[in-house]
Structure 1
């Protein structure tokens, strides 16, 4: 089960990420089949290695794990050749807001015990054998691995892998039915969280609008009522810049125009 593998890898780094004040997130594209046949141990080790390095070299911000159907990624079209309907080619991405890598470091990063420079290694430690091992494991899963990065702008490590689809997984995916259409407002100060929820709800057939603050959410709510197309539901994060979630929910329920919106 892909969900179990992902949750297992994230749980290993959860405490360290929390201690550093980092947001550790995952996002699975709704079109990804999570019932797969393959070696979960190999996949978990690669994910853990990439997440470990991302957390290690990130002092603030977030680390995001994304899983996408490989068919939608133009950079690895060759991997799709020969894939039948019973197979799934996936792309895994680990994106961080850390120190980033120079062009020279990117060229050597999958060599054993390499890192950007000696000063970085003294401060953070090297990448050890993790990335070298990951390279070999990805090859065993009929995939490729790479990195996109700039100094000071974080890094995006990615790899692809090919799996057989499990019959139960395909059946579960086929049984999913969209929810009745409705309009939802997402209010969350974290852009990654907003995008994850927006994608999931859109896949369920709901119309979604996102707001980055409580003030912006109120503007959207009142504007929708004026346009006679009100929101049926407001999903609110408790911690937002300016007006927090509790204050926003209270304002919605106390205003005669917006009090009909479910929160």
Structure 2
């Protein structure tokens, strides 16, 4: 890796709804996030707020195989909640800590352009899919070099005037892959578990490091399965595309990075 990338460390951090839904946890997380040195980007979804607002307005959430169908009413709600209420609350708190954050959808600055998911057996509605040309890495780099910390919500656009609901994990991964060409990039998924666990019910069974060979062993032994599979598959895809490492861990442990201490599960080409 060239010297310029080494001198430009970038952390891209995605927070789950469990952090957003708890104001005390969010406050601590954002304080730790602000304390991180170097460039950083925050990506967030919407937690329970969008579902609660839908229920209040009498709009039923439509799900197929665990995936949300985004009809026009749902799109309006996620845009209001993700891009408005949650995003601006996060930005305001970051400003309180002295972090000059700027709240964004993918449409702002044309930073993330997606394509509406094609209808096959299921019509997912206004859902955006990311490809390798979706992210404007140079534009985001200029924004960060101007002193701003981007805070992306899970809303993108198609370049033709249409907003699209897009998976926040996928947005974080796509940002990391694109910006890895310009920075020494670490992708971090913060959620409510300590990391990847050998026993989902035992928080002390943390697996601290996983490389591709060990990952195959864990899959064969059925230790990693179900919902964790797509997250780890995406993580190793990101590593293969130039991301230095991926960390999956508890949001309240983020502060350890400031002191060069490890936390959660670190995924890399070589454990």
Q: Which TM-score band applies after superposition, normalised by the shorter structure?
A: under 0.3
Give the TM-score, by structure 2 length: 0.24
The structure with higher relative contact order (CA 8 Å, sep 6+) is 2
CA radius of gyration, larger in: 1
